[in-house]
Amino acid sequence: MLSLVQRTLAKKVVLTGVGLHSGKDMRLELHPADIDFGIQFRRTDLAQSLPIHAHAINIHSTDLNTTISSGDARISTIEHLMAAFAGLEIDNVLVKLDGPEVPVMDGSAGPFVEAILDAGVALQNANKKYFVVREVFELRQGDKWIRVEPATNTSFSMQIDFKSSVIGAQSLNFEWSTVEALESIFVSRTFCHVNDVTAMQRAGLALGGSLDNAIVVSDDEVLNPEGLRFNDEFVRHKLLDCIGDLSMLGAPIIGKFSAYKSGHGLHAAFMKALWAKKSEILTIVEDMQHISRQSPREIDSAAVIGIKS
């Protein structure tokens, strides 16, 4: 799927749920927004809160989640909501929140996707912009790395490797095609080790965490009574995080992504570095109509570069 035009919500969406780290109930409102508005967050509990653009340059911290900020206003745990917008190809939304965190819901993007699809998606009368990758770009931190290279379609190749034998080494290759193909990614839940839960709660984090909003593992078993949704739910969730975090340049990136043991910190560093070098690595395409081919979301990057240069 490759939307040629910008998209927003057909109507307002309201969701409530607990914030993973604060443990407090949050009210989340998603409002339709005009063309070229992008995804912007506003804190309704702060009198002077400026809107915060969901852009890589506004990422403030990546400690177990992705947090954006503007002035004193911060909003945490935006990554699964951002993945829902990216996966449903939604460009323009005003997100209102009465607290510092997007509700964790069930630990996946499933409830956001369901609520958005219930409200409906509206097409807008403006071309959708894309970034096409022109050069290979890679960032390494220790043994972890993430890379993007030129391709005619967006795809991801993810690898994780955890000590817990329940998780272990998992890999996933994913070619972006339809919303249906993303279904198992949307509903894959976040996860943590039971020892980390205790440590986080002592540090005042994950106060809202429970077996209802995360997979909790020990060294050798899954502690949730219902078990896993997929055998490889862990790597599927890592891909969800990746889709959310990598959607924050203001337009989707068409390219082949690969990542090894990546997480929010590496994703954010990668996006900031990519943004700083965007004139070398990326070409912005403002009218995909002229270059889209018969198969959806497939484009000829050479043709794109030819048009823009």
Give catalytic residues, as residue numbers. Answer: 264
Q: How far is the CB of 37 from Zn ion (least distance, A)?
A: 25
> How many CA atoms lie within 13 Å of 48's alpha carbon, on the beta-carbon side?
3
Which residues, other chains included, contact 83 with Cβ-Cβ below 8 Å and sequence gap of 6+?
A: 109, 185, 186, 240, 241, 243, 244, 247
Residue found under tokens 């508005």: 37
- Determine the size of the site formed for Zn ion (CB under 5 A): 2
Which residues, other chains included, contact 94 with Cβ-Cβ below 8 Å and sequence gap of 6+?
A: 30, 31, 32, 33, 37, 40, 42, 51
Instruction: Show the tokens assigned to 297.
Output: 């979301």
Please say whether the beta carbons of 242 and 82 come within 8 A: no
Instruction: Show the tokens assigned to 194.
Output: 């039971």
Q: How far is the CB of 87 from Zn ion (least distance, A)?
A: 14
CA dist 161 and 134 (Å) reads 30
Cα→Cα distances 218→155, 162, 168, 191, Å: 32, 12, 12, 11
Please give the residues from 48 up to 77 whose contact with Zn ion meets the rule CB under 5 A: none
The smaller minimum CB distance to Zn ion, of residues 92 and 190, is found at 190
Q: Site mask, Zn ion, residues 173-212, x = CB under 5 A?
A: -----------------x----------------------
The smaller minimum CB distance to Zn ion, of residues 190 and 283, is found at 190
The smaller minimum CB distance to Zn ion, of residues 3 and 190, is found at 190
- Answer for which of 91, 232, 233, 241 binds Zn ion (CB under 5 A) is 241
Q: How far is the CB of 63 from Zn ion (least distance, A)?
A: 13
The smaller minimum CB distance to Zn ion, of residues 91 and 241, is found at 241
Segment near Zn ion (CB under 5 A); pick from 154-162, 205-213, 233-241, 279-287: 233-241
Single-letter amino acid, residue 5: V
Q: How far is the CB of 153 from Zn ion (least distance, A)?
A: 24
Applying CB under 5 A, does 6 fall inside the site for Zn ion? Answer: no
Q: How far is the CB of 132 from Zn ion (least distance, A)?
A: 27
CA dist 142 and 145 (Å) reads 8
Which residues, other chains included, contact 271 with Cβ-Cβ below 8 Å and sequence gap of 6+?
A: 56, 59, 245, 246, 248, 249
The smaller minimum CB distance to Zn ion, of residues 217 and 285, is found at 217
Binding positions for Zn ion, rule: CB under 5 A: 190, 241
